[in-house]
Structure 1
Amino acid sequence: MEMIETGEATAILPAGNHHSPVKVFGTEAIRATFDELCLQQAINSRTAPGVTQVVLNPDAHCGYGAPIGCVLASPTHVYPGPVGYDIKCSMSLLQTDLPADAVSTREIRRELIHAICRRIPTGMGKGARDVPKSRKVDEKLGAAAMCEGASSDVLAKLGIPTSWAERCEDAFHRGHDDSVDSLRQRLYELRQGRVFNKFRERVQQLGSYGGGNHFGECEVVDVVDQPEARATAEVFGLRDGHVAFLSHCGSRGIGHRLATGQFRALEAKFDQWGIPYPGNDKQLVHAPLGTPEADAYLDDMALGANFATVNHLLINQLVLEAFQEVIPGTQGTLVYFISHNIARQEIVDNRPTWVHRKGATRAFPAGHHALRQTPFADTGHPILLPGNPQAGSSVMVASEGARESCYSVNHGAGRMLGRRRAIKELDQKTVDDSFTDADILTNCRRYPKDEAPAAYKDFDEVLRSVEKAGLATEVARLRARFVIKDASDADD
């Protein structure tokens, strides 16, 4: 499979005579990181029923059915694969009023790590019962979070500032008929079956990180020294040379069970009706809009997405409380919360279309109609892109050229090494020493080798691809001071 270069950081991947090609964004060096399976998954996705566009971003690598780091657009069908198992896996950024030197000493950073870990559990299956200072969530509040998302009532009960909902890409999601009632009915049905037979335990994961690539990271904000970047940073609420906190997590076990149930249900329908799988890949099951199967998927996705939203906002509140315990008087505000595993209905080519972003981030520029009456109408919204602790992470803003990518960019650096290969090939002492040399603390006795910086693509080249393709520009770089991850071998 050969990509055809169309620019310094753009290319196309032919998908057959009857389909427009896959759009590819990445420099030559980045395109060389796309293996054959990743490209084949992109072609399978492009030729699947109802699909009108597929985009490969610089961080693309093979995933379930569709590549991670891709965008799939369809006006007629919904696809669980190009959303994935971790429904609404997302990024959020909390900006504090602390100057960088407030976290300069290792002693203070270690205290902050302990204070955060006393409030926010990490790892598979972990929830509020596993740490002493978490929020205890009962079944009623958990159900409300899933059905209402970041409603004023839910946020107030959890002690989260209600104004933070205004800093969310989507503060809530509704059911297939744009109502909350359909979600309440769907959740009732799921709780009667086997999907949520331990509902009380599962909702207690609200306010927790998962395993794998999920993390919390203390940052120092380094705003790009250009007038336009400084002006945009001010609108975003970023403070140059000050401490911020970046979080990456999703809908935890709730979302995974919802997605698993949907894959199984749709596979059973395909087998019952004798429908061929696109590319012979079961992970590309789908449902035409308006069918009971599509309605059920949209409802389940919304339930998982609402849980993920409240999970992130609660994490940020708990992080702020941890900072206030260690450094009394600390103030903090939410910069933004944005997803990279979700399907959203947007206007594409003047037509309502379900844009599936699998490991891809929405990128609306200044003047986009969807940003009217938001704080970002004149700038574009913040794009939060994690790189790795040693290369830093980035806050970007979309350019007009993002129209070419369905208003999407990558969701981070993207994997270079699979988890098993990273664990086999990377040296544990070298990984741990690299964090010591960079003066970056972690909560891990041994940093997970499958999450080491060397397991990921060159982040600077990824960002260069985005800028050279005309998709977005960098507003600030985030420099890590400490990292919180799941130290076990579990993968989310």
Structure 2
Amino acid sequence: MAKLKLRGKDLRNIGFPESPVISVAITVMEQHYKHHSQEDALDLLQQVLQEPEAYRADEHLGKIAEKLIVEEITDIPLNEAPADYAVYGREFIDEGAISQMDYAMRLPVTAGGALMPDAHHGYGLPIGGVLAVKNAVIPYGVGVDIGCRMCLSILDIPHEQLEKRASSFKRELIAGTVFGAGAGWKPRLEDEVLEHPAFGEISLLKHLQQKAADQLSTSGSGNHFVEWGLADILDADNEWSLAPGLYTALLSHSGSRGLGAQIAGHYTKVAREITPLPREVQHLAWLEMDSEEGQEYWLAMNLAGDYASACHHHIHKRLIKAVGGQLLARVENHHNFAWKETHQGEEVIVHRKGATPAGKGVLGVIPGSMTAPGFIVRGRGAAASLDSASHGAGRQMSRAKANQSFTRHELTRLLKEHGVTLVGGGLDEAPGAYKDIATVMKAQTALVDIVGRFYPKIVRMADGGPRED
């Protein structure tokens, strides 16, 4: 097994401050945790960063914790009690996520919030957290993978062909996709998003334009995927006038790659310098919307969202052409983003970190797992949820725990039972690592109506490895 090798930017990307703690942390991890994967090592470091007091007495991690524990100096106190917010599916949401949301609802800029039924502990805002704030944007409230999104294409190819031509669909899926941190597509593609004026206006983006060009039309690691499957249209009164029934479909999940990660890391650091907060909420530091920094981040965030969308469109165009199909319908949505919206008569910035927009009549896709169906949904515009719904089933165990809990034999057996072919993927993405999607959907019947289902059949994921850089 290759020994662990960390870089300073790996730590900065997960929120470590630019200080001597970075070199201390790298030394400790490479000496005492050298057989950890990079992903597991960064997960552990994030835990130390979030709660250094809990690791103060640890023989090795205590050295990192001591560097992180400093006397708090803050001019921005939190409100004494969290504002009220709606929680959907509270009975299967971990207390860590509830606690994080409580803290978010104590920010002085908070105007509203909600917690979706797939919620679980994250950093700053929990995954599945929805937070509305006044005249501010929170980079870490959007998350590292800015514009992470779903894209579903429904094709004119008879659904029986997916099984009859399975080897062909699998071959084209492998040939037409690239996964993993740092991965690029060759030859480079052209797209108008690469000509966006922001690349010339913001100094950070000038250095990221080439990375964005290299990675256009590729997918990240972790839970990102591209998969062939069957779309079952249930609602006869659908937006595309499709007859109810089964269709061949293509579904993808990924975000803005290295471009988004670098934007998130840079502006989170800027926000923490400008907006000093208690340690419990330091990742929720904000930038005022009327500040130069806030306007820069907003422009960069929207560029990253457009870039993520372009990546999906290129992947779909390439694969649909390869199998000889024509597009009948498409549904797509971000689920790591911030929007200007009006709620209760007030304009606010709504952050959906792992949550799907579900305004009245708004379509979206909520995936399950590699063996569980996903859902095509239509938002009901529920005010209590800030027009939001879950972004998936949601993890019920960490990646490290999943790797320890499942075997490759068990995963192979489960895939066979469901008639699913997996290319790549790891035990950290085993279906059992996720909550039951049926339970999650039952908890949000007030938020969305089901238009159809998507059943994965040929799934392509990264082979495993480090997170996005």
> Does the C-alpha gap of structure 1 residues 19 and 439 become closer, same or farther in structure 2, counting only changes over 3 Å?
closer
Distance 2:243 2:153 in 1: 9
Aligned to 1:369: none
Give the one of 117, 139, 146 matched to 1:80. Answer: 139
1:393-432 Cα distance to aligned partner (Å, 9 max, x none): 11111225x2221111010100011111101111221012
Q: Secondary structure at the match of 2:339?
A: strand
Aligned pair 1:230/2:239, yes or no?
no
1:306-321 alignment, distance < 5 Å: 306-321=306-321
Q: After the TM superposition, which residues 318-329 of structure 1 pair with which residues of structure 2 at under 5 Å, given as runs? A: 318-324=318-324
1:256 corresponds to 2:261: yes
Aligned position for 2:277: 276
Deviations 1:242-299 (A, max 9, x none): 10111101101111111111112222334xxxx223x533211111221122112112
Opposite residue 232 of structure 1, the aligned amino acid is N
CA contact (8 A) 2:111 2:348 kept: no
Matched residue, 1:190: 204
Paired residues of 2:85 and 2:384 also in contact (CA < 8 A): no
Unaligned regions of 5+ residues in structure 2, if any? 1-77
CA RMSD of aligned residues (A): 2.0
- Whether the 8 Å CA contact 2:236–2:244 is kept in 1: the answer is no
Corresponding residue of 2:185 = 128
Q: Quick check: 1:415 aligned with 2:400?
A: no
Give the alignment partner of residue 150 of structure 2, picking from 91, 100, 105. 91
Q: Which residue of 2 aligns with 1:219?
A: 229
Aligned to 1:203: 213
Distance change in 2, residues 1:315/1:486 (3 Å): same
Measure the CA separation in 2 of the matches of 1:286 and 1:22. Answer: 20
TM-fit CA distance, 1:240 = 2.1
Q: Which moved more, 1:294-303 or 1:37-46?
A: 294-303
Say yes or no: does 1:359 pair with 2:354. Answer: yes
5 Å matches for 1:236-247? 240-247=245-252
When normalised by structure 1's length, the TM-score is 0.75
Are residues 1:287 and 2:287 paired? yes
CA contact (8 A) 2:402 2:433 kept: yes
CA contact (8 A) 2:263 2:301 kept: yes
Is the aligned partner of 1:459 residue 2:454? no
Tell me the equivalent position of 1:176.
none
| Counterpart amino acid of residue 438 in structure 1 | H
The Cα of 1:123 is off from its aligned counterpart by 1.3
User: Does the residue aligned with 1:40 lie in a helix, a strand or coil?
Assistant: helix
- The TM-score normalised by the length of structure 2 is 0.79
Check 1:21–1:312 CA distance in 2 against 1; reply closer, same or farther (3 A cut). Answer: same
Aligned residues between the structures: 391
**Secondary structure in 1 aligned to 2:452?**
strand
Aligned to 1:111: 168
Per the TM alignment, residue 19 of structure 1 is displaced from its structure 2 partner at its CA by: 4.4
Structure 1 residue aligned with 2:55? none
Alignment of 1:150-161 (within 5 A): none
- Which residue identity is paired with 1:23? A
> Paired residue for 2:422?
442
Opposite residue 406 of structure 1, the aligned amino acid is L
CA 1:437 to 1:41, structure 2 compared with 1: closer, same or farther past 3 Å? same
Change (3 A) 1:313 1:239: farther
Partner of 2:50: none
Whole-angstrom CA distance in 1 between matches of 2:150 and 2:85? 26
Letter in 2 for 1:289: M
2:84 to 7, 14, 21: 21
**Residues 69, 360 of structure 1: 8 Å contact kept:** yes
User: C-alpha distance in 1, partners of 2:200/2:210?
Assistant: 18
> C-alpha distance in 2, partners of 1:305/1:116?
24
Partners of 1:395 and 1:88 lie apart in 2 by 19
TM-fit CA distance, 1:146 = 4.6
Give % identity.
27
Q: 2:123 aligns with which of 51, 64, 67?
A: 64
Q: Which whole-Å CA distance do the structure 2 matches of 1:239 and 1:441 have between them? A: 26
What 5-or-longer segments of structure 1 have no aligned partner? 1-14, 130-134, 149-180, 325-329, 366-379
Higher relative contact order (CA 8 A, sep 6+): 1
